[in-house]
Amino acid sequence: MTQLQKFFSQVDQNEQHYISRLAEAVAIPSISGDPSHRQDVVRMGEYLQQELKRLGASVETRHPGTQDWNGTGRILTLPPVILATIGNDPAKKTVLVYGHYDVQPALKEDGWTTDPFTLVVDDAQDRLIGRGSTDDKGPILGWINVVEAHKQLNLDLPVNLKFCLEGMEESGSEGLEKIIYDEAQNYFKDVSAVCISDNYWLGTDKPCLTYGLRGCVYYHLTLSGPAADLHSGVFGGTVHEPLIDLVHLLSKLVDSNGKILIPGIYDKVLPITEKERATYQDLSFSLQDLHNSVGNVINLHSDVESTLQHRWRYPSLSLHGIEGAFYNPGDKTVLPAKVTGKFSIRTVPDMNNEEITRLVKEYVASEFKKLGSKNTCTVELTHGGDHWLASPDHWNYVAASNAVEDVFGVKPDLTREGCSIPITLTFQEALQKNVLLLPMGRSDDGAHSINEKLNKSNFIKGTKLLGAYLYQVANARI
């Protein structure tokens, strides 16, 4: 029996114990977005530190400082970032694991079938139901399960393991980026590769490795004219209305079929290679999955490949709303004096944020000029996050792919995601190491929704996967 087989067997024996520990973790309502639960976030961090110490880890904390709660002047202390190390063998590779111990808010009244902070074991449907079960307490405990199983078996881990666990992920990871850069040449100096288990399978029946994320640039397009809101009866038909101008400009940004109309915006998008195209075959995804996710048949593309390519590797432009106009139910005959349209562009390699902003501003200015309006038009970039792309040929990915085959007997889907996980890029840029997204949960886990769940089989097999991954990393040829 190999060391890995012993580990797998030990995991199976520990199943009830793992579920009990997940129940303990779920019972701590560590909601980072609610000040009244800030102490619960801290308590959740202490729980993890205690578990790690019990298993022989050396544990430190870093303190990101304080936050001004939503700009209200209410000062809250940020929960600590937990740094932990198990093993310090210079002959071994060092894997850095990231996770977060805070959760989204959850109230029974939101529509939960059961109390969100009491883990419910639904054996019939193989589900462990509770807030944080899949996002991200299950995956963090998966790593702890791996360490504990080895300790029980009196086996050394095949690699050195470092942890970076934060308590503010659901609230913008405030303060974490600085700590990562500060520790890049210190605590994280010897890291060989990074593994983050905080996303989801593409579908519900097959593991995946995720190697890319789109970036996001967010713009405010503001039109102003009158000094104050006007009455449409008195002024309608006699003045240039900012909202009319805004709607015309927004309609020039993107067509109803999702095509971005800004000249040059697609120029830097990398063409798809044959090798990349092959990764879109046999994915665990169907158009019905999309229909189910959005609750309607409103797909832009008629096949899976095209749909996923537009989600992962092509840019998109979305309109989010308008600030300054009438938004309540009912009727109001106001002419808003100043209106701001909010839109964002999801970016992909090799688009460049500065260049996109230049293209957006030039195009909006030229379209505004065509309107012949006397109003004032400005465009402001309010947020810019870069896209991220790792090489799935890197030994870190090869190790993970082999580990999936070890545990599940199939090759994983190679996926990207349409949204941003900014910390991924931060780790890659600060540490200059390959970052792997290795999810534990399924696409239908409902991470930020009601009745969040982690399948029991995903928890147990996921624990095995994380362990198997460490063995594959240890054996990988760099």
Dihedral sign, CA of 101, 105, 111, 114?
A: positive
The CB-of-5 to a second copy minimum distance in angstroms stands at 38
The span from the CA of 474 to the CA of 94, in Å, is: 9
Question: Which of 73, 90, 233, 271 is in the footprint of a second copy by CB under 8 A?
Answer: 233
Question: Which of 114, 333, 457, 475 is in the footprint of a second copy by CB under 8 A?
Answer: 333
The CB-of-232 to a second copy minimum distance in angstroms stands at 4
User: Is 301 near a second copy (CB under 8 A)?
Assistant: yes
**DSSP code string of 372-411:** T-SSEEEEEEEEEE--EE--TTSHHHHHHHHHHHHHHSSP
Helices of type H across 27-76: 38-54
The CB-of-432 to a second copy minimum distance in angstroms stands at 26
Q: Which of residues 187-216 bind a second copy (CB under 8 A)?
A: 214, 216
CA nearest to 107, candidates 131, 77, 134, 132: 131
User: Is 4 near a second copy (CB under 8 A)?
Assistant: no
Q: Provide φ and ψ at 434, rounded to 5°.
A: -65, 140
Q: Which of residues 244-263 bind a second copy (CB under 8 A)?
A: 244-245, 247-248, 250-251, 254-258
Stretch that binds a second copy, among 6-14, 312-320, 389-397, 453-461 (CB under 8 A): 312-320
Query: Among 102, 183, 417, 452, which one carries the catalytic annotation?
Result: 102
Question: Which of 73, 90, 237, 271 is in the footprint of a second copy by CB under 8 A?
Answer: 237
Dihedral sign, CA of 72, 73, 76, 81?
A: positive
Distances (CA, A) of 296 to 153, 289, 290: 50, 11, 9
Question: Which of 56, 172, 236, 264 is in the footprint of a second copy by CB under 8 A?
Answer: 236
The span from the CA of 468 to the CA of 289, in Å, is: 30
* Cβ closest to a second copy, residue 58 vs residue 333: 333
Looking up tokens 């303060």 gives 175
Residue 362, number of CB atoms within 10 A of its CB:
14
User: Is 302 near a second copy (CB under 8 A)?
Assistant: no
* Cβ closest to a second copy, residue 374 vs residue 477: 374
* Cβ closest to a second copy, residue 416 vs residue 456: 416
User: Is 294 near a second copy (CB under 8 A)?
Assistant: yes
Stretch that binds a second copy, among 19-27, 170-178, 233-241, 408-416 (CB under 8 A): 233-241
Stretch that binds a second copy, among 139-147, 153-161, 313-321, 461-469 (CB under 8 A): 313-321
DSSP element (H, E) containing 305: helix 304-312
Distances (CA, A) of 103 to 32, 37, 97, 134, 366: 7, 10, 18, 10, 45
**Tokens encoding 412:** 């994983």
Question: Which of 148, 183, 241, 413 is in the footprint of a second copy by CB under 8 A?
Answer: 241
The span from the CA of 83 to the CA of 131, in Å, is: 24
Stretch that binds a second copy, among 110-118, 265-273, 323-331, 401-409 (CB under 8 A): 323-331
Known catalytic membership, residue 102: yes
* Cβ closest to a second copy, residue 151 vs residue 240: 240
Stretch that binds a second copy, among 23-31, 54-62, 243-251, 454-462 (CB under 8 A): 243-251
Residue 295, number of CB atoms within 10 A of its CB:
7
Q: Which of residues 376-435 bind a second copy (CB under 8 A)?
A: 382-383, 417-420
Known catalytic membership, residue 148: no
**Tokens encoding 318:** 């979305």
Coil, helix or strand for 220?
strand
* Cβ closest to a second copy, residue 55 vs residue 269: 269
Q: Is 214 exposed, middle or buried (0-12, 13-18, 19+ CB in 10 A)?
A: buried
Query: Among 51, 135, 166, 169, which one carries the catalytic annotation?
Result: 169
User: Is 442 near a second copy (CB under 8 A)?
Assistant: no
Q: Which of residues 335-354 bind a second copy (CB under 8 A)?
A: 335-336, 342, 344, 346
Question: Which of 155, 239, 269, 474 is in the footprint of a second copy by CB under 8 A?
Answer: 239
Question: Which of 218, 289, 357, 450 is in the footprint of a second copy by CB under 8 A?
Answer: 218
Question: Which of 115, 323, 405, 444 is in the footprint of a second copy by CB under 8 A?
Answer: 323
- The HSE-up count of residue 460 (CA atoms within 13 Å, CB side) is 18
**DSSP code string of 24-80:** HHHTS--BTT-GGGHHHHHHHHHHHHHHHHHTT-EEEEE---EEEGGGSS-EEEPPP
The CB-of-172 to a second copy minimum distance in angstroms stands at 11
Q: Which of residues 149-188 bind a second copy (CB under 8 A)?
A: none
The amino acid at 206: K
Dihedral sign, CA of 354, 360, 366, 372?
A: negative
Name every residue whose Cβ is closer than 8 Å to that of residue 55 and which is 6 or more positions away in sequence: 86, 144, 147, 148, 151
* Cβ closest to a second copy, residue 268 vs residue 310: 310
Q: Are 388 and 423 spatial neighbours (Cβ–Cβ below 8 Å)?
A: no
Q: Which of residues 75-104 bind a second copy (CB under 8 A)?
A: none
Question: Which of 75, 153, 234, 278 is in the footprint of a second copy by CB under 8 A?
Answer: 234
Question: Which of 35, 105, 226, 446 is in the footprint of a second copy by CB under 8 A?
Answer: 226
The set of catalytic residues is 102, 169
